Structure 1
Amino acid sequence: MDTPAYLNPLLFNQLLNQVGQAVAWRRAVACPCVSRDSGQPRVDCAQCFGAGHIWGEPTAAQAGVISGAQAQALEGFGLLDVGDVVLSIPSDSPLYAIGGYDRVQLCNRTEPFSLVLVAGLNGVDFVVAQVDSVVWLDSTDTLVSGSVPEVEGGRLRWQGLVPPDGVAYTLTGRRYPEYYCYQDQPVDRPHQFGASLPRRVALKRYGLLGR
């Protein structure tokens, strides 16, 4: 059966590539630390940090973000939670091959963050747009404002006044929001009459994975 003229994949792709947003897609791979018996990852794994998956290098892609009104309609069916996002993915985008637990970063929007880290022990597991402040408490519980670090690949590079090793400090700034595909389950059928039509995929906030 021929594809109806109004279901033209090329036209859909042209529209989504014009109005869509830039994203960075990272494919998920199950971490070898996961137990074959229990299915649980090692909490002390140096590769996945207990998440059970590791991710490859980001691939640039394009996708349309479904409007808030449509997303709210899906929430009523239990398909979305607050903070989730729905993408419409053109068939000529690398992201069309998205699978379970893959990560997707939205590159055209940012959001504020403020989190507590321990100096010398951990970095950040998201892409930072900017750092606004670093503060910690000294031995007399006085609030100390430190130098703003550069962030490269999740690692903080400091110069000037830095928090002492082992001291908890608060890092505040803006980051690019990131989501993950809980399962490879498009909201609607990606194909019609053999045509590769755009895929509509619901993504959950990455923080729900516990990292």
Structure 2
Amino acid sequence: MGFGNGIKAHANRFEDVLAKHGRDVLWQESNRCSCFNVDSGQPRYDCKACGGTGFVYELPIAGRPAIQNVMTNKEYLAYTGMFEVGDILMTVPANTMERKSDGTFNPAIREPVKMYNIGFGDIVTLIDDEVKTSEVLIRGEPLNNRPADTLLNPKVTRVLSIRMHDPLTGATTLYDADDYTATGATIEWFDGAGPPEGEQYTVTYMHRSVYTVYAVLPRPRHQDGQELPRTVVLRYYPGGVLHESIICRNSAT
């Protein structure tokens, strides 16, 4: 696909490549929370809508963009200083082939890609990848503006172990999987099980890789009457509760 010297871009061909070789993701559009203080530039720490993050996210929408490591692409060496180790590039097409229920594609039908409008602050979850994290919670107490017994990373896939260490004796208490259940990112203890209220414990778990859109790279989106793919920079999301939108609209009665 060329952009100069009279070479015509072929958006459809590039879109077909992205459909066949892309990665399945979930995209969540971000909205600035109305609690944002226009004078201080800060959100309300106690806001129930955004959890103090300043952003509220729409429910996930599936997409299939192309993803690659920034460090392997010489084209972006000019942006050195803008990127960090671990950043990735994601190319999003404007349209894509219809995807059948069996996962194959129908080249005769093209559909618009909703996440083509992706922008700064949006969230992208890689649903074909897992990351292991170990962190400390306090039984029954909120931590860092998160509800009680709620893990930092919201896209939990499985809990590997929960244990409590005694700093005085060195003894380790390993809790059985029958002592608790994981609902989303929250650990729920059954009656009479788990550490005492107010005690710290450690959870080791797997979760999806979640990224936030750090920058939208400037490049033409329209050429030869076509909507060309766009490229954004993704940075690993540091965790935290994602507050998805529960949209209330006034309706005529």
Name the TM-score, length of structure 2 as normaliser: 0.72
Q: CA deviation at 1:5?
A: 7.2
Question: Counterparts in 2 of 1:90-129, with a 5 A limit?
Answer: 90-92=93-95, 93-120=113-140, 121-124=148-151, 125-129=153-157
Residue identity matched to 1:165 = E
Q: Quick one: which of 213, 219, 222 aligns to 1:181?
A: 213
Residues of 2 paired with 1:13 and 1:202: CA distance? 19
RMSD: 2.8
Q: What residue ranges of structure 1 are gaps of 5+ in the alignment?
A: none
* Identity level (%): 29
Question: Counterparts in 2 of 1:1-211, with a 5 A limit?
Answer: 7-67=9-69, 68-70=71-73, 73-74=76-77, 77-92=80-95, 93-120=113-140, 121-124=148-151, 125-137=153-165, 142-148=171-177, 149-159=180-190, 161-183=193-215, 185-207=216-238
Question: Residue 140 and residue 70 in structure 1: after superposition, are their counterparts in 2 closer, same or farther (change >3 A)?
Answer: same
Superimposed CA distance per residue, residues 52-107 of structure 1 (whole angstroms, 9 cap, x where no aligned partner): 11112111111111245118954862231112111111112222111221100001
Residue identity matched to 2:186 = R
Residue identity matched to 2:86 = G
The 8 Å contact of residues 121 and 214 in structure 2, kept in 1 or not, is answered as: yes
Q: CA deviation at 1:133?
A: 0.7
Task: Name the structure 1 match of 2:248.
Answer: none
Greater RCO, CA 8 A, separation 6+: 1
Residues of 1 paired with 2:54 and 2:28: CA distance? 15
Residues of 2 paired with 1:150 and 1:105: CA distance? 23
Q: What residue ranges of structure 2 are gaps of 5+ in the alignment?
A: 96-112, 141-147, 243-253
The 8 Å contact of residues 117 and 170 in structure 1, kept in 2 or not, is answered as: yes
The 8 Å contact of residues 187 and 202 in structure 1, kept in 2 or not, is answered as: no
Superimposed CA distance per residue, residues 22-69 of structure 1 (whole angstroms, 9 cap, x where no aligned partner): 101111111122112112011222332221111121111111112451
Bigger mean CA deviation after superposition, 8-17 or 41-50: 41-50
The 8 Å contact of residues 147 and 161 in structure 1, kept in 2 or not, is answered as: no
The 8 Å contact of residues 182 and 188 in structure 2, kept in 1 or not, is answered as: yes
Bigger mean CA deviation after superposition, 63-72 or 115-124: 63-72
The 8 Å contact of residues 190 and 200 in structure 1, kept in 2 or not, is answered as: no
Residues of 2 paired with 1:162 and 1:106: CA distance? 32
Residues of 2 paired with 1:208 and 1:147: CA distance? 26
